[in-house]
Amino acid sequence: MVKKIAVLISDKGTGSNLDAILQAFDNSQILNGKVTVVISDKKDAQGLIHAHKRNIPIEIKSLKEYLQQGKTRRNYDHDLGQILKKKYDIDLVVLAGWMLILGSEFLKYFPNKVINLHPGLLPDGDSDYLVLSDGVRIKAIRGLHTDAAVQFALDHHYPVTGSTVHFVTPVVDQGSVIIRSEVKIKNNDDVKTLYHRMKKEEHKILPKAIALYCEDRLFIRKGRVIIKDAETGSA
Ligand code: GRF
């Protein structure tokens, strides 16, 4: 069955990852799936243009309006979950620059069905550190968004940073890792140059993770993601 996907964005990013996802569908790099709705918490999010262009339904769900009406953050999470579940019958929720932490009121509708793109390298499990492919150990960058996460790697003189696609759990930036991509930091890098190279990688790993999900090739075993082999089907 074709997986119905919701992509959640905000006005903090440029929507480049949403664009990369939609291009991957256009180029048949993702099969067996369809973006059926794009959600933003702000009506002027730049990325909405990509949904408009392809006539993909858009929902603006403003948290600010909820709070002004005397409703709570839990109400917001609950109602957002209901819309995606009941109105759109969503199979996979993709956070691509979404800024709000989604609590269990939302996640209960989508157990192991929400993935996030994080602009820092995250380890498997709850460790505070991870070992890079060249053996160097660095501290995980958690709880920081966009530019702040990139700046952190520069401020702490990391040799390498990168981005991670992971399943979302109620504990922020700690769900099982699907794919991470390392990016070497150059001596003369600033946030702009480094983030530019990180985003190029993000535009590959997020569509890749979605493709794996749509092919039913992702499993979680003892908190770790296992990717089923496309040929043999073994995990
Ligand atoms: C990405 O860099 C992602 O890692 C972070 O938000 C950013 C969104 O960028 N969570 P864009 O709007 O897709 O360009």
Tens digit of each residue's pLDDT (9 = 90 or more) over 137-178: 999 999 999 999 999 999 999 999 999 999 999 988 889 999
- How close is the Cα of 15 to the center of ligand 1, in Å? 7
Is the model more confident about 74 or about 232? 74
> Is 120's C-beta closer than 6 angstroms to any atom of ligand 1?
no
The pTM assigned to this predicted structure is 0.96
> Is 123's C-beta closer than 6 angstroms to any atom of ligand 1?
no
Q: In ligand 1, which atom is closest to the CA atom of 163?
A: 4
Model confidence at 229, pLDDT cuts 50, 70, 90, reads confident
Predicted pLDDT of residue 122 = 96
Q: Which residues are catalytic?
A: 118
Predicted pLDDT of residue 172 = 87
Beta bridge partners of 188: none
Residue 33 has pLDDT above 90, yes or no: yes
Predicted pLDDT of residue 126 = 87
What does the block give as tokens for 231?
């040929």
> Is 163's C-beta closer than 6 angstroms to any atom of ligand 1?
yes
Contact 177, 88 (CB under 8 A): no
pLDDT in tens, 102-128: 999 999 999 999 999 999 999 998 899
> Is 162's C-beta closer than 6 angstroms to any atom of ligand 1?
no
pLDDT in tens, 69-104: 999 999 999 999 999 999 999 999 999 999 999 999
Residue ID of nearest Cα to ligand 1 atom 1: 97
The strand pair at 160-167 and 177-184 is best described as: antiparallel
Residue ID of nearest Cα to ligand 1 atom 8: 97
- How close is the Cα of 195 to the center of ligand 1, in Å? 10
Pocket test for ligand 1, best of 7, 17, 210 (most atoms within 8 A of CB): 17
Residue 23 has pLDDT above 90, yes or no: yes
Residue 231 has pLDDT above 90, yes or no: no
Average pLDDT taken over every residue of the chain:
95
* Phi, psi angles (nearest 5°) of residue 214: -65, -25
**Greatest distance between any 2 Cα atoms in the chain:** 54
What residues have CB less than 8 Å from 124, skipping those under 6 apart? 130, 176, 177, 223, 224
State how far the alpha carbon of 191 is from the alpha carbons of 98, 109, 154, 200, in Å: 20, 36, 8, 14
Percentage of residues in the chain having pLDDT higher than 70: 100
Packing angle of the helix pair 16-26, 191-214 (nearest 10 deg): 40
Predicted pLDDT of residue 232 = 73
